């Protein structure tokens, strides 16, 4: 992992873990009986963390990652459940769902070097290519 990217099986497992998180948050959200319009409207809100990139790349990575790590969302969910607050539980589930969706799609936590440098690989918004960190030429392991 000399280039900072998770590769091969660990990368696949992290993406599978993201898919499980995404699916389980959708299931849990359905149990609270809240509006699916709300879920759809809130699922992309954590990407507002990209606003940090207006300052510079390092600040952008810090702000973006603070919106894309599971710890604050889990703490919000635990607090909401402890207080039987379905509104905040729903918000926390939307937040966790977003994180799971990003990981499932291969978007990871950002490095301060460039917007497209993440722990799950590198990507470019301009040419739509991804460097999955696989350097051995085996496409089956670059998932």
Residue 84 lies in a domain: yes
**Residue 121, domain extent:** 18-135
Residue pLDDT, tens place only, 85-110: 999 999 999 999 999 999 999 898 99
Residue 119's pLDDT is 84
* Tokens 């809240």, residue located: 34
- What does pTM read for this prediction? 0.83
Q: Which residues pair with 117 in a beta bridge?
A: 122
Count of domains for the chain: 1
Residue 2 lies in a domain: no
Q: State yes or no: pLDDT of 139 exceeds 60.
A: no
Residue 12 lies in a domain: no
Residue pLDDT, tens place only, 26-74: 999 999 989 999 999 999 999 999 999 999 999 999 999 999 999 999 9
Residue 61 lies in a domain: yes
Residue 90 lies in a domain: yes
The residue among 65, 38, 71, 33 whose CA lies nearest residue 49 is 65
pLDDT tier at 135 (50, 70, 90 boundaries)?
Answer: very low
Residue 126's pLDDT is 53
Residue 7 lies in a domain: no
Residue 142 lies in a domain: no
- End-to-end distance of the chain based on CA atoms, in angstroms? 16
Residue 128 lies in a domain: yes
Residue 125's pLDDT is 60
Q: State yes or no: pLDDT of 115 exceeds 90.
A: no
């Amino acid at each position: 992992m000399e280039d900072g990217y998770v590769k091969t099986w660990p990368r696949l497992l992290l993406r599978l873990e993201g898919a499980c998180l995404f699916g389980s948050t959708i299931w849990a959200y359905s149990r609270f009986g809240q509006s699916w319009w709300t879920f759809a409207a809130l699922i992309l809100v954590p990407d507002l963390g990209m606003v940090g990139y207006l300052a510079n790349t390092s600040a952008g990575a810090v702000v973006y990652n603070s919106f894309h790590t599971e710890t604050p969302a889990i703490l919000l969910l635990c607090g909401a459940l402890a207080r039987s607050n379905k509104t905040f539980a729903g918000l926390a589930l939307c937040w966790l769902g977003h994180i799971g969706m990003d990981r499932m799609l291969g978007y990871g936590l950002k490095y301060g070097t460039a917007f497209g440098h993440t722990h799950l690989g590198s990507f470019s918004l301009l040419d739509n290519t991804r460097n999955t960190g696989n350097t051995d030429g085996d496409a089956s392991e670059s998932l």
